[in-house]
Amino acid sequence: MKKEQIIEMKKQLQDKMHAKHVMATPQIKKIVINMGVKDSLADKKNIDRSREALVQIAGQLPKTTKAKKSIASFKLREGDPVGLMVTLRGKRMYDFYDKLVTIVLPRIRDFHGVPRESFDGHGNYTLGFPEHTVFPEIDPGKTDRIQGLEISIITTAATNEEGFALLEAMQMPFQKTK
């Protein structure tokens, strides 16, 4: 999103929410992309392949997340790599959000909008994707494994209603209510 679009959106949100000034309106703080890597213990190359895919999606090098506890039934030890995460802020965050809303979500087959219930009670929104191949940077012919990921949009909103108003003002395609 361009700076002018963001400023215009904030002014509209200010009028809608009857806020005294623009800084009283909620805004996006950061976007966190999480990817749990299946079979990361069986083959260490799975983490590297997933890392390359996440770099292409986010445009930033991801951090490897490690297991906090050992679980014997999963043959998992404390400190084993189990996933990847990227935190986007600033211009990259707005560029990613714009790509998500205008390119990625319309590419999903039988897409009727994102669910309205995915707020956490504090105005933050989480969206899950069962496969990472919906992103245009990923070539489905070159991927050998389908990997899911989760996108969390962290806002400064205090309530779900404020978070919904913010994302709706930023053209998030929510499902229509009946």
CATH number (domain holding residue 64): 3.30.1440.10
- Give the pLDDT band of residue 7 (cuts 50, 70, 90): confident
Question: What is the tens place of the pLDDT at every residue in 101-128?
Answer: 988 888 888 888 888 888 888 889 999 8
Q: What is the mean pLDDT of residues 23-37?
A: 88
Contacts of 35 (CB under 8 A, 6+ apart): 50, 53, 54, 62, 83, 84, 85, 132, 147, 148, 149, 150
Q: What is the pLDDT of residue 41?
A: 62
Residue 162, domain member (yes or no): yes
pLDDT tens digits for range 40-68: 666 778 888 888 889 999 999 999 888 88
Q: What is the pLDDT of residue 63?
A: 93
Structure tokens at 19: 């806020």
Q: Does residue 85 register a pLDDT over 80? A: yes
Region 125-154: mean pLDDT is: 86
Question: Domain total for the chain?
Answer: 1
Is residue 8 domain-resident? yes
Neighbouring C-beta atoms of residue 45, cutoff 10 Å:
10
> Which structural domain, as residue segments, surrounds residue 149?
3-17+31-169
Nearest Cα to Cα of residue 84 among 62, 53, 55: 62
Asked if the structure places residue 174 within a domain, the reply is: no
Is 134 domain-assigned? yes
Residue of higher predicted confidence among 48 and 29: 29
For the entire predicted model, the pTM comes to 0.86
- Ordered alpha helix ranges (H), the chain: 3-17, 45-58, 90-99, 105-107, 160-169
Residue 3 has pLDDT above 90, yes or no: no
- Cβ atoms of 147 and 50 closer than 8 Å: yes
